[in-house]
């Protein structure tokens, strides 16, 4: 955890505002479903969407860029005059057409008619998907549904914050049905959806005016202004540099439970400071008058200079050892290893228990990887807290003398 600047101690936080994409969810979106308009093929919709989104850094755009267009009649083209409207969508020029992509609000603003748009948003949200709409000129091309996964630690974090009497709010630029789906999965009861990046900052300012001490947690894609506005801006380690620059606290791991650690550690630190003040004053208030002989005439009490010097040191010792107790600070939850990657490798060439053990050793030697080989099915189950590229796994197996035939 790295602390750079703070306007207010995390101990006083009464409201934690969570950004959705990339904060409560992993932000590793995937294209889940294509809804082409009548007369438009899936490949045509996809090729246009990919061409348009290639220059964007948004997780939705990155999910598209990973897709391949299978139909060779439609190819990905280079776009010009690319323009991004944060929280709404993107537009760009390709050949003689303008391509548009974004949410329903953006489509309305561009005056592009989307048949059944609201229904599509609802249907997609029911499956936890976010939907984007695409058009070429005024012609509607169709919609694409994206799936995202809620982080494993999200509901535990929300529950822990609640237990400490802290309110939790999900603040997102995404549509309300999708936000509701994520909120329901994590136990969040308050949401504000369809909020543009600039409005997110205002939302936080309004809560502050109502007397809340606000901690904003985000990944920095479109939320740097609100990270700066909040009393405590907390940027997740996986986020952008701009988030790290505007936030007061930067978590080096994207584990949401570190929010709870930050607040609890801050509270423990303040309690410790108060205890230290007590110990420092307790000795001094009693011993200084005693050493000065104030009580001597009336009660006959005095303090030998040597004892006074010792008391001075004991007071410092108390303060320092009390402060050192913070080294034993434990967050109010157990840090179980979280697995975010789960892959099954099909392996050719393993004949006996020795071969299986050899492959298992080779995979387990990779940093952070936990592997188990099953000889009967000729597969290895590989888990890790962080993503490990297929190529790394293939190479490790190859170096052990075997061949990966498929990865599931
Ligand atoms: P969040 O609050 O969930 O992190 P953002 O503020 O980053 O969301 O984006 C809000 C919405 O704006 C997205 O759900 C999407 O509809 C739209 N949007 C943002 N960037 C893009 C993009 N590159 N292409 C299309 N739509 C986008
Ligand atoms: Mg975001």
**Which residue lies with its CA nearest to atom 21 of ligand 1?**
89
Helices 305-324 and 258-292, packing angle to 10 deg: 170
Q: What percent of the chain has pLDDT over 70?
A: 90
Residue 154 to residue 187: CA distance in whole angstroms:
9
pLDDT at 35 over 80: yes
- CA 200 to centroid of ligand 1, rounded, Å: 13
Ligand having the closest approach to the CA of 61? 1
From 125-139, 167-181, 260-274, the region with the lowest mean pLDDT:
260-274
Pocket-testing residue among 87, 177, 238, 240, ligand 1, by greatest number of atoms within 8 A of Cβ: 87
HEC secondary structure over 173-190: CCCHHHHHHHHHHHCCCE
CB atoms within 10 A of CB 278: 13
Whether this model's pTM surpasses 0.75: no
Pocket-testing residue among 85, 103, 142, ligand 1, by greatest number of atoms within 8 A of Cβ: 103
CA angle (97, 98, 101) in 5-degree steps: 135
Long-range contacts of 269-273 (CB under 8 A, 24+ apart): 269/11, 269/326, 270/9, 270/11, 272/322, 272/323, 272/325, 272/326
Q: What is the DSSP string of 262-307?
A: HHHHHHHHHHHHHHHHHHHHHHHHHHHHHHHTTTHHHH-----HHH
How distant is the alpha carbon of residue 129 from its chain centre? 18
Specify whether the CB–CB gap between 59 and 28 falls below 8 A.
yes
Which one is catalytic: 19, 148, 219, 223? 19
- CA 304 to centroid of ligand 2, rounded, Å: 66
CA angle (116, 120, 121) in 5-degree steps: 120
> How much is the pLDDT for 44?
94
pLDDT at 4 over 50: no
CB atoms within 10 A of CB 148: 25
Task: Tell me the average pLDDT of the chain.
Answer: 85
Confidence bin at 5 (pLDDT 50/70/90): very low
Q: Which of 199, 243, 181, 197 is nearest to 218 (CA)?
A: 243
316-366 residue pLDDT tens = 888 888 778 777 777 776 665 555 678 889 999 999 999 999 999 999 988
**Which residue lies with its CA nearest to atom 16 of ligand 1?**
103
CB atoms within 10 A of CB 28: 16
19 annotated active-site: yes
Structure tokens at 317: 């010792």
Structure tokens at 316: 């410092």
Ligand having the closest approach to the CA of 239? 2
Q: What's the sign of the alpha-carbon dihedral 268, 272, 275, 281?
A: negative
Burial tier of 154 (Cβ tally within 10 Å: 0-12, 13-18, 19+): buried
Exposure class string for 193-221: b at 16+ Cβ within 10 A, else e: bebebebbbebbeebbeeebbbbbbbbbb
> How much is the pLDDT for 325?
77
Give strand ranges (E) for 210-262: 214-218, 232-235, 249-250
Residue 285: which region, alpha, beta or left (left: phi > 0; alpha: psi -120 to 50)? Answer: alpha
Please list the residues that pair with 143 across neighbouring strands. Answer: 35, 133
Confidence bin at 232 (pLDDT 50/70/90): confident
Atom of ligand 1 nearest to the CA of 52: 24
Atom of ligand 1 nearest to the CA of 22: 4
Higher-pLDDT residue of 74 and 179 is 179
**Which residue lies with its CA nearest to atom 8 of ligand 1?**
173
Q: Which of 205, 210, 185, 187 is nearest to 195 (CA)?
A: 205
CB atoms within 10 A of CB 292: 12
192 three-class SS:
strand
Q: What percent of the chain has pLDDT over 90?
A: 45
Q: Residues near ligand 1 with C-beta < 6 Å? A: 19-21, 53, 56, 58, 60-61, 87-90, 101-103, 130, 132, 172-174, 197, 221-222
Report the first-to-last Cα separation within the chain, whole angstroms. Answer: 35
135-152 residue pLDDT tens = 999 999 999 999 988 988
CB atoms within 10 A of CB 298: 7
- CA 378 to centroid of ligand 1, rounded, Å: 43
Residue 114 to residue 35: CA distance in whole angstroms:
12
């Amino acid at each position: 955890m790295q602390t750079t600047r703070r306007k207010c101690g995390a101990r006083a936080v009464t409201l934690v505002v969570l950004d959705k994409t990339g904060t409560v969810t992993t932000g590793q979106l995937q294209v889940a479903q294509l809804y082409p308009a009548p007369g438009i093929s899936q490949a045509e919709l996809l090729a246009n969407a990919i061409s348009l989104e290639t220059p964007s850094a948004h997780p939705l755009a990155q999910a598209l860029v990973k897709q391949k267009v299978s139909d060779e009649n439609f190819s990905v083209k280079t776009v010009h005059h690319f323009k991004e409207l944060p929280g709404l969508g993107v537009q760009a020029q390709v050949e003689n057409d303008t391509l548009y992509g974004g949410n329903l609000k953006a489509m309305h603003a561009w005056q592009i008619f989307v048949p059944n748009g609201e229904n599509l948003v609802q249907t997609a949200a029911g499956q936890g998907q976010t939907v984007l709409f695409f058009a070429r000129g005024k012609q509607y091309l169709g919609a694409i549904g994206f799936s995202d996964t809620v982080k494993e630690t999200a509901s535990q974090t929300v529950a822990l914050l609640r237990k400490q009497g802290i309110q939790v709010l999900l603040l997102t630029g995404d549509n309300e049905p999708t936000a509701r789906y994520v909120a329901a999965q994590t136990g969040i009861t308050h949401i504000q959806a369809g909020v543009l990046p600039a409005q997110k900052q205002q939302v936080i300012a309004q809560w502050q005016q109502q007397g809340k001490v606000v901690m904003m947690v985000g990944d920095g894609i479109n939320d740097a202004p609100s990270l700066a506005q909040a009393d405590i801006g907390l940027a997740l380690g996986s986020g952008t540099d701009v988030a790290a620059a505007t936030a007061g606290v930067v978590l080096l791991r994207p584990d949401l439970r570190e929010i709870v650690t930050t607040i609890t550690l801050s509270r423990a630190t303040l309690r410790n400071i108060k205890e230290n003040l007590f110990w420092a004053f307790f000795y001094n208030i009693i011993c200084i008058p005693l050493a000065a002989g104030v009580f001597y005439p009336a009660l006959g009490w005095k303090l030998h200079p040597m004892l006074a010097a010792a008391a001075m040191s004991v007071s410092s010792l108390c303060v320092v050892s009390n402060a050192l107790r913070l080294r034993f600070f434990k967050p109010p939850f157990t840090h179980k290893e979280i697995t975010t990657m789960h892959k099954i490798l099909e392996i050719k060439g393993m004949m006996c228990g020795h071969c299986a053990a050899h492959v298992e050793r080779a995979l387990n030697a990779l940093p952070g990887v936990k592997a188990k080989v099953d000889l009967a099915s000729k597969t290895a189950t590989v888990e890790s807290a962080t993503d490990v590229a297929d190529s790394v796994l293939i190479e490790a197996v190859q170096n052990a003398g075997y061949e990966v035939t498929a990865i599931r």
